[in-house]
Amino acid sequence: MAQWAVIIPADRWATERLFHHDTLTVAGSAGAQPAAGDEVLLVAGDTSAHVIALGVVVAQERSRRGAHGVPEVEIAYTHRSFDEPLPAEGLKLDETVAPIDEELFRGFAGRLGGDPDKQTWLVSLDLPIEAASAAEAVRQFWSYVLELGPAELPAFVSPSGDELAMQAFVLGEEANQDPEEEDED
């Protein structure tokens, strides 16, 4: 079993932060390729590289080829640290998919820590909709959701049982929705 660092392109990283996926498919590189069972550090390819997750190679899609004509690599997440990423210090990130030393991999894996205990969250999206019927209101609701999406519609989240701790999120990040506070800036 080998260890690899895989850079997630910035646009794909934005999608990964918004939607829960069990696996991630990335284009391989022209050089050495990971094999099923190899361990992976997933690195966000934004302005400053950060280790955001751990994974394991599920398969190499030989039938599907990436932009460089090399097989795509499918990676299953084993640990996510999207909200508390680690700076990718010490990683050579010359290629999108690159082998790394096992000791370096274990160092990052140990610092990412274990999965936090899960708790129940209440997530809502409230839209006032004028319609002739409840069914029409629901159709309009889903149309707005598809049209506006996570860039314009805030989702509200709070721990179950503590609704006063509600926070708004837009594009996967906490967003202030109080117009009075925005006017003060």
Domain boundary among 112, 131, 151: 112
Q: Which pLDDT score, from 0 to 100, does residue 151 have? A: 87
Number of domains in the chain: 2
Residues 59 and 107 in one domain: yes
Distance CA 139, CA 155 (A): 19
Distance CA 179, CA 153 (A): 15
Domain boundary among 87, 112, 137: 112
Q: Is the pLDDT of residue 115 over 80?
A: no
Q: Could you tell me the pTM of the whole model?
A: 0.76
Q: Is the pLDDT of residue 113 over 80?
A: no
Residues 87 and 153 in one domain: no
Residues 44 and 99 in one domain: yes
Q: Which pLDDT score, from 0 to 100, does residue 120 have? A: 92
Domain span including residue 139: 121-184
Distance CA 105, CA 177 (A): 40
